C-alpha cells in the first residue's frame, strides 16, 4: 500500500484482506493526500497529488508498518516527516537501519521530538544510488530502502537484504509499475532508479502466516484441513516442523495443502530466524501445539526480545512452560483446560485461540484488537470448520478495549469450547 505512493497514476491492489492494519494504513495514506476507493478485497489508489509530507502521529503510533511510507514519500517529494512508529509491544525494532540507508542515498535525516525529518538537498531533490549494507536482514528496512531506490538517480545495492516472500512480492509490484529491481529473494538486491513509475493492477500473495496458523489449528485438534490458495514454498520451515512432530502435510494441488495430524505428536526444538528460517510470527502458535506434544521442546526466540509473553497465558490453561532468557522450555501435558486469558500481541492472540480449540471446557479470550490486526474474520472461518466459538461484547466497561479503530467502551471476546 505504501508502494502505491511511488506512482503518480492510478494503482489497483487485489486480494487485500479486511484487517485493522489495512484500515489504519489506508487512513495514513489518505492523510497524505491519496484518494482511495475500496470494494471487497480490491483497493484503488490515486496518489497523483500528495498534499502533505507528514503522516499523523495518532495513526502512525498504532501501526509499525506505517514507517514504510518514509521511503516512497522521500523518493517522490524529496522531503518527508514521519513520526517514529508504534505497533505490537514485542520488542524495540529500531529504525536506525532505515535511517542509515536513506543517509547513504543522500538524505539529510534528523529525529526531533519523536518525528523523523528527512529531506534531499539540491535542485533535483532526487535520492542518489548507493551501496548499502544492512547490519541485520530487516524486512522493514529492506522494503523501505528498496522502494526509495526505485526513483533514485543511479543504481542502489542492498546487501544482507531480507529474503522474505513479502520482499519479493513488493519488488514484483514495483517492477510491474516500471521499476528495475533485481535479486529480490536473495541477500543482494540491485535497484536501477527510473524517473517515473506507471499504473498497475496487482494481486497480493496469500498470507503464509495465516495459512500456517490454520495448519497448526488442524494439528492441535487432530483435524484434517485443506487450505487454498497457498504457496507451499513459502511455508517450508513450518511444514518441516509439523512433519517432524508426526503430522503429514501433503500438496493436493500446486496451491493447496492438506494436513493429516498424527495419532500423537512428539516434541521438537524451534529457533526463530529470518527467512528461510522458522518465522517468528509462527512461534506462539507452534508453542500452543507443543504444549500437547509428548516430551520436552525448547523454543528459542532470536528475532524479538519480548515475544514470549503468551507463556503466562498458556500456563493459565494448564500448559507446563518455563522461560529462561529468550528460551521457552515446553513440557507436553495430557490436556489443556479452558480459562480466562488475555492476548498480549497479534500472534499471541492466535495462539490462544488455537489452544482454546483443543482445551477442555470454555476459554474466554480478551484483547481481540490484536487478533483483528492480522486475521480476516478468523472466527467465521473456524466456525465453518466446525469450531464452537463466538465473539461477544464484554459487559465490564472498566476493562475496555476495542477491536475497532474508534474508542469504545466494550471489549470483544471469543469464547471457545473443545
The residues annotated with a catalytic role in the active site are: 88
Per-residue DSSP letters for 341-383? EE--SHHHHHHHHHHHHHSBSEEEEE-HHHHHHH-SSHHHHHH
Contact indicator for 76, 98 with CB cutoff of 8 Å: no
394 near 366, Cβ under 8 Å? yes
Task: Give dist(CA 223, CA 233) in Å, integer.
Answer: 23
E-strand ranges in 77-186 read 79-83, 108-112, 115-119, 131-133, 155-159, 180-182
* DSSP conformation class of 414: E
* Cα dihedral sign, 19-25-28-32: negative
**Residues 79/119, Cβ–Cβ less than 8 Å:** yes
Give the span between the Cα atoms of 338 and 165, in whole angstroms.
Answer: 36
Q: Is the peptide bond before 264 cis (omega within 30 degrees of 0)?
A: no
Nearest 5°: phi and psi at 389?
-155, 155
Q: How far apart are CA 3 and CA 26, in angstroms?
A: 12
d(CA 374, CA 350): 9
Give CA–CA dist 345/21, Å, rounded.
Answer: 13
Interatomic CA distance for residues 153 and 198, integer angstroms: 17
Distances (CA, A) of 127 to 107, 124, 346: 7, 9, 35
* Residue 129, SS3 per DSSP: coil
Given a contact cutoff of 8 angstroms between Cβ atoms, the answer to whether 315 and 321 are in contact is yes
Within 10 angstroms of residue 239's Cβ, the number of other Cβ atoms is 20
CA distance 229 to 298: 32
Which one, of 264, 255, 261, 315, lies nearest residue 287 by Cα? 315
Amino acid at each position: 500500500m505504501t508502494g502505491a505512493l511511488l506512482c503518480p497514476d492510478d494503482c489497483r491492489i487485489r486480494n487485500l484482506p479486511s484487517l485493522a492494519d489495512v484500515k489504519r494504513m489506508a487512513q495514513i495514506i489518505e492523510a497524505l493526500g491519496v484518494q482511495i476507493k475500496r470494494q471487497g478485497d480490491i483497493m484503488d489508489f490515486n496518489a497523483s497529488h500528495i498534499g502533505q509530507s507528514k503522516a499523523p502521529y495518532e495513526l502512525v503510533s498504532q501501526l509499525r508498518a506505517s514507517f514504510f511510507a518514509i521511503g516512497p514519500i522521500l523518493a517522490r517529494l524529496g522531503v518527508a516527516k514521519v513520526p517514529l512508529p508504534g505497533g505490537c509491544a514485542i520488542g524495540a525494532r529500531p529504525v536506525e537501519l532505515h535511517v542509515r540507508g536513506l543517509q547513504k542515498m543522500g538524505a539529510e535525516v534528523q529525529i526531533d521530538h519523536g518525528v523523523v525529518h528527512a529531506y534531499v538537498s539540491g535542485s533535483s531533490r532526487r535520492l542518489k544510488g548507493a551501496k548499502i549494507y544492512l547490519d541485520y536482514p530487516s524486512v522493514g528496512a529492506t522494503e523501505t530502502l528498496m522502494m526509495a531506490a526505485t526513483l533514485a538517480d543511479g543504481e542502489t545495492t542492498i546487501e544482507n537484504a531480507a529474503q522474505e516472500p513479502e520482499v519479493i512480492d513488493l519488488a514484483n509490484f514495483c517492477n510491474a509499475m516500471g521499476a528495475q529491481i533485481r535479486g529480490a529473494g536473495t541477500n543482494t538486491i540491485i535497484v536501477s532508479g527510473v524517473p517515473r513509475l506507471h499504473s498497475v493492477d496487482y494481486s497480493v500473495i496469500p498470507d503464509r502466516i495465516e495459512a500456517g496458523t490454520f495448519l497448526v489449528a488442524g494439528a492441535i485438534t487432530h483435524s484434517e484441513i485443506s487450505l487454498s490458495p497457498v504457496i507451499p514454498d513459502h511455508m517450508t520451515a513450518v511444514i518441516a516442523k509439523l512433519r517432524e512432530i508426526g503430522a503429514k502435510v501433503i500438496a493436493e494441488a500446486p496451491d493447496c495443502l492438506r494436513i493429516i495430524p498424527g495419532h500423537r505428536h512428539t516434541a521438537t526444538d524451534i529457533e526463530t530466524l529470518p527467512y528461510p528460517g522458522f518465522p517468528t510470527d509462527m512461534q506462539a502458535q507452534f508453542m500452543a501445539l507443543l504444549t500437547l506434544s509428548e516430551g520436552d521442546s525448547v523454543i528459542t526466540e532470536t528475532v524479538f526480545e519480548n515475544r514470549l509473553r503468551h507463556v503466562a497465558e498458556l500456563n493459565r490453561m494448564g500448559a507446563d512452560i518455563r522461560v529462561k532468557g529468550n528460551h521457552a522450555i515446553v513440557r507436553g501435558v495430557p490436556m489443556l483446560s479452558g480459562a480466562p486469558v488475555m492476548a498480549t500481541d497479534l500472534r499471541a492472540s492466535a495462539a490462544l485461540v488455537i489452544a482454546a480449540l483443543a482445551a477442555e471446557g470454555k476459554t474466554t479470550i480478551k484483547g481481540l484488537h490484536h487478533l483483528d490486526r492480522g486475521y480476516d474474520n478468523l472466527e467465521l472461518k473456524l466456525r465453518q470448520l466446525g469450531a464452537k466459538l463466538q465473539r461477544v461484547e464484554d459487559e465490564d466497561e472498566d476493562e475496555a478495549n476495542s477491536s475497532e479503530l474508534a474508542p469504545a467502551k466494550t471489549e470483544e471476546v471469543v469464547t471457545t469450547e473443545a
